[in-house]
A = this chain, B = another copy of it.
């Protein structure tokens, strides 16, 4: 049985006594505002570039802690430092978010990546809940509407695909929109929220999830069919697992037990498919037909994949009581806890090789910042609390 009460304490402590202090201590740029995310094993800054996506995720993280854990001024001030930096430097004249800035905030990379915009909208939506500042709300809303406008061709002029030869839609945007609309629900027309949720859930569960192969594909044809191509065969099990807990949250919100059940079943299929039976852990990428991949990093074990998978099975267990969730959760906790956290210097390693050895000792970089670990620990803490409450009720009933 899962000792949910003890695990809730463990995750809470790891979040509040290790991970959050690590970022507070090491990532502040006192000169220009915003955050350093390129931190080495000890938390020392090894590069000063600022990636808008990661700046926004960190604003979101500290705003969320302020809103959901405790109204600590230090957390809000830290979120505001990043928000001011982003407001001053993050957007082009049309309001699109750059991908990367230098330390001073001068653009390095054009706004080709719509996920910069997605995380900016999330950040300012969550921050607005803390500040009530209309300027923060306005940025979140404006960015959200631009995302919807760009969604049919997110890369715009930077799209290198030749038109119409092989049109594929990618999983990431509908998946993130599922999560984003709930984040900024307080700022949107309820009809827009419901329509976006309905459309995204259908897209994920009926198009990207393929019942024959029992996986979620990263790219499908516009009408939701399999494309036998490098992109079409690609599976990212962690990505699908992350999406399944987003769908479970939506199912809980609408009281749809059948949807929670379906998301749980798919999560179990995904982890059974993606688990490395030889060395443990979940592969980063697989080819659904077992063909050689383009991604040379396919067999690596990434931090976010494992914490997102833990959340999926914690929530799956909470919603369905399915013992397979408890079993997978325990297995994933064991692997994750023995491989990713760095007991010496704090925070987590991000990248392990197939054998589970540390591939890069850094705690942050261009793609890893202050996001998946704290969000995941918060989600796990709260989910374990809910499971623990239920376990106590059941014990009372048994007596």
Binding site for B on A (CB under 8 A): 38, 40, 46-47, 49, 98-99, 102, 106-110, 112, 157-158, 160-162, 165-166, 229-230, 291-294, 296-300, 351, 353-354, 359-362, 365-367
Evaluate contact between A296 and B297: CB separation under 8 angstroms.
Answer: yes
- 21 example contacts (A-B, Cβ-Cβ < 8 A) are as follows A47-B230, A99-B160, A102-B165, A106-B162, A106-B165, A107-B165, A109-B160, A109-B161, A109-B162, A110-B161, A110-B162, A292-B361, A292-B362, A293-B360, A294-B367, A296-B297, A296-B300, A296-B359, A297-B297, A353-B353, A353-B354
Evaluate contact between B161 and A158: CB separation under 8 angstroms.
Answer: no
Once the chains are docked, how many angstroms separate the CA of A351 from the CA of B108?
A: 32
Evaluate contact between B292 and A160: CB separation under 8 angstroms.
Answer: no
CB A110 to nearest CB in B, in angstroms, measures: 5
Closest 5 CB pairs of A and B: A292-B362, A296-B297, A107-B162, A46-B291, A292-B360
Evaluate contact between A229 and B49: CB separation under 8 angstroms.
Answer: yes
Evaluate contact between B46 and A165: CB separation under 8 angstroms.
Answer: no
Once the chains are docked, how many angstroms separate the CA of A109 from the CA of B162?
A: 5
Q: Report if A166-B351 is in contact (Cβ < 8 Å); known contacts: A230-B47, A294-B366, A362-B292.
A: no
Evaluate contact between A108 and B47: CB separation under 8 angstroms.
Answer: no
Once the chains are docked, how many angstroms separate the CA of A158 from the CA of B107?
A: 17
Further 18 A-B residue pairs, CB within 8 A, beyond A47-B229, A99-B160, A108-B162? A38-B292, A40-B292, A46-B291, A102-B165, A107-B162, A108-B166, A292-B360, A292-B362, A293-B360, A294-B365, A294-B366, A294-B367, A296-B297, A296-B359, A296-B360, A299-B353, A353-B353, A353-B354
CB A349 to nearest CB in B, in angstroms, measures: 11
CB A17 to nearest CB in B, in angstroms, measures: 25
Evaluate contact between B229 and A160: CB separation under 8 angstroms.
Answer: no
Once the chains are docked, how many angstroms separate the CA of A359 from the CA of B294?
A: 11
Once the chains are docked, how many angstroms separate the CA of A46 from the CA of B288?
A: 13
Once the chains are docked, how many angstroms separate the CA of A352 from the CA of B123?
A: 41
Once the chains are docked, how many angstroms separate the CA of A296 from the CA of B160?
A: 23
Once the chains are docked, how many angstroms separate the CA of A175 from the CA of B267?
A: 48
Q: List, in ascending order, chain B residues with CB within 8 A of A300's CB.
A: 296
Once the chains are docked, how many angstroms separate the CA of A98 from the CA of B161?
A: 10
Once the chains are docked, how many angstroms separate the CA of A112 from the CA of B112?
A: 15
Evaluate contact between A108 and B165: CB separation under 8 angstroms.
Answer: yes
User: Which of A157, A296, A354 counts the most B-chain CB atoms under 10 A from its CB?
Assistant: A296
Q: List, in ascending order, chain B residues with CB within 8 A of A360's CB.
A: 292-293, 296, 298
